């Protein structure tokens, strides 16, 4: 049986909080200086706030720099061109350019593990020789490729299955005796249920041992099934397209340890001031030593809280306990963010449409995206119009959505553009 315990960076992961703060502060000072000198948007924010690079000499001093909400990256990409003024290297030096919904152009440089994903995957339990399916998308967005590179660097054998194609995925898992999974938790459960529906005994016919899940909330009931019924080691983490790994679970499953390569703050969404243990606030992240895309104080929009009591695993970092909500209407569906501006873009493409609202719900382990469409007076919904709008949804949001024509007056004028009505057990 493979030993899936241990540390990726034991010295860093187990050092005292004071030693960690000293190390990260020195790294932060250099990161802020570099970002100020090379990134237009960082310099503008700091100059407007009257903060010079020399004024940041501690993690606490980060409070003086305005937060850049992730939702603002869409507008910044429109105003300043690709990368929104945060590119820290010559664009000709890039390895790849990704396109996240918005669109947001995400640069991928040539720094070793610049997304800091190798520690997350190792500490989740992946080891050399594991055969791993990576079910994140390899098309346009970063998740598929940057997870692929990190897991390969650990010596795993990666099978790039991407999203969908459940029949092919099931056969691949059987034929290759795949024992690792990367992707959203609901798709892993869907694969298992689909296999059982075809008459297989998952525990007998498949070799799955370890899974790293991200991109959506992992309900306790689903985790219990995966671990107790199918004997899979399940670890979750927080990863965002723009800067990669933020936090990860250890074997104790006692919250998600902050990455050693990131400054993670939990802040008051109104003031940007750092909060203490147990206080709910926005997750704000600064990547350390990231020269390609050194976004200082990126506001993820996720609401969470942290604890700093010692973890039985021996790691001494703070731990993000769970995601409890969102600051804004930007919502993650099947691992992809959708923005109100994208919903507006879909609506604006059709002269018949007066008002729209997106409802995000769940059916079993699957996310549903429902587009309520209210038409102008005298206009009637049709199958042809429904198909055209759904095609536009796939084009703009890169996800499938179901159009529902509703009566005029159904959608309040002050309704949220995106309403998340999912219930997490």
CATH homologous superfamily of 336-420: ANL, C-terminal domain (3.30.300.30)
What is the C-alpha separation between 267 and 403, in angstroms, rounded?
37
* Dihedral angle computed from the Cα positions of residues 257, 259, 262 and 268, in that order, rounded to the nearest 10 degrees: -20
How far is the C-alpha of 223 from the C-alpha of 415, rounded, in Å? Answer: 34
Would you list the domain boundaries of the chain? 336-420
| pLDDT tens, residue by residue, 386-416 | 999 999 988 888 888 899 898 888 888 777 8
Tell me, what's the pLDDT at 69? 94
Which residues lie across from 267 on neighbouring strands? 274, 282
Inter-residue contact 93 to 110 (CB < 8 Å)? yes
Give per-residue pLDDT as tens, 122-179: 999 999 999 999 999 999 999 999 999 999 999 999 999 998 889 999 999 999 999 9
The angle subtended at Cα 195 by Cα 190 and Cα 196, nearest 5°, is 100
Q: What is the CA radius of gyration of the chain?
A: 22
β-sheet bridge partners, residue 392: none
The token pair at 146 is 């940057």
| pLDDT tens digits for range 84-133 | 999 999 999 999 999 988 889 999 999 999 999 999 999 999 999 999 99
User: Which has the closest alpha carbon to 213: 102, 330, 323?
Assistant: 323
Confidence of residue 15 (pLDDT cuts 50, 70, 90): very high
- Are the C-beta atoms of residues 223 and 234 closer than 8 Å to each other? yes
pLDDT of residue 337: 75
**What confidence score (pLDDT) does residue 425 get?**
63
Quick check: 195 and 170 in contact, CB under 8 A? yes
The mean pLDDT of 249-268, rounded to a whole number, is 96
Torsions phi, psi for 328 (to 5 deg): -125, -170
pLDDT at 16 over 90: yes
Contact assessment for residue 323 and residue 238, using Cβ atoms and an 8 Å cutoff: yes
197-239 pLDDT tens trace? 999 999 999 999 999 999 888 888 899 999 999 999 999 999 9
Q: Is 269 exposed, middle or buried (0-12, 13-18, 19+ CB in 10 A)?
A: middle
Could you give the C-alpha distances from 151 to 142, 174, 186, in angstroms and in order? 14, 20, 21
Phi, psi dihedrals of residue 326, rounded to the nearest 5°:
-125, 150
Q: What is the mean pLDDT of the chain?
A: 92
Output the DSSP codes for 238-272: EEETTTEEEEEE-TT-SSEEEPTTEEEEEE-TTT-
Cα separation of 118 and 152, whole Å? 9
Contact 401, 358 (CB under 8 A): yes
Which bin fits 6, alpha (ψ -120 to 50), beta or left (φ > 0)?
left
């Amino acid at each position: 049986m493979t030993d899936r315990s241990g540390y990726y960076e034991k010295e860093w992961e187990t050092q005292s909080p004071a030693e960690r703060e000293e190390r990260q502060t020195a790294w932060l000072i250099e990161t802020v200086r570099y970002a100020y000198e090379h990134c237009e948007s960082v310099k503008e924010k700091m100059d407007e706030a009257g903060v010079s690079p020399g004024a940041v000499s501690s993690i606490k001093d980060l409070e003086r720099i305005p937060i850049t909400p992730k939702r603002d990256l869409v507008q910044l990409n429109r105003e300043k061109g690709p990368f929104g003024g945060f590119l820290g290297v010559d664009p000709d030096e890039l390895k790849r350019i990704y396109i996240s919904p918005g669109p947001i152009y995400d640069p991928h440089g040539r720094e070793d593990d610049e997304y800091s994903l190798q520690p997350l995957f190792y500490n989740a339990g992946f080891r050399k020789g594991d055969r791993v399916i990576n079910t994140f998308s390899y098309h346009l967005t970063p998740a598929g490729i940057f997870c692929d590179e990190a897991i390969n660097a650990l010596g795993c054998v990666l099978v790039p299955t991407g999203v969908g194609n459940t029949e092919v995925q099931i056969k691949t898992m059987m034929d290759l005796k795949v024992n690792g999974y990367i992707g959203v938790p609901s798709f892993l459960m869907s694969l298992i249920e689909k296999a059982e529906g075809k008459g297989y005994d998952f525990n007998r016919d498949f070799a799955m041992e370890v899974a790293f899940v991200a991109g959506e909330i992992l309900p306790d009931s689903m985790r219990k099934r995966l671990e107790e019924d199918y004997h899979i080691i399940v670890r979750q983490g927080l990863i965002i397209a723009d800067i990669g790994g933020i936090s990860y679970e250890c074997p104790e499953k006692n919250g998600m340890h902050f990455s050693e390569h990131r400054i993670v703050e939990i802040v008051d969404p109104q003031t940007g001031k750092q909060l203490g243990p147990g206080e709910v606030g926005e997750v704000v992240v600064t990547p350390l030593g990231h020269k390609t895309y050194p976004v200082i104080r990126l506001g993820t929009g996720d609401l969470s809280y942290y604890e700093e009591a010692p973890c039985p695993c021996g790691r001494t970092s703070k731990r993000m306990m769970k995601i409890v909500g969102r600051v804004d209407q930007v919502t993650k569906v099947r691992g992809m963010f959708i923005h109100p501006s994208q919903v507006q873009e879909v609506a604006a493409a059709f002269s018949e449409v007066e008002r729209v609202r997106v409802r995000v719900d769940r059916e079993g382990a699957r996310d549903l995206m429902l587009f309520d469409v209210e038409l102008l007076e005298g206009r009637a919904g049709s199958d042809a119009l429904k198909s055209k709008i759904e095609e536009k949804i796939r084009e703009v949001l890169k996800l499938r959505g179901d159009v529902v024509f509703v009566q005029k007056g159904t959608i309040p004028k002050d309704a949220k553009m995106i309403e998340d009505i999912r219930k997490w057990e």
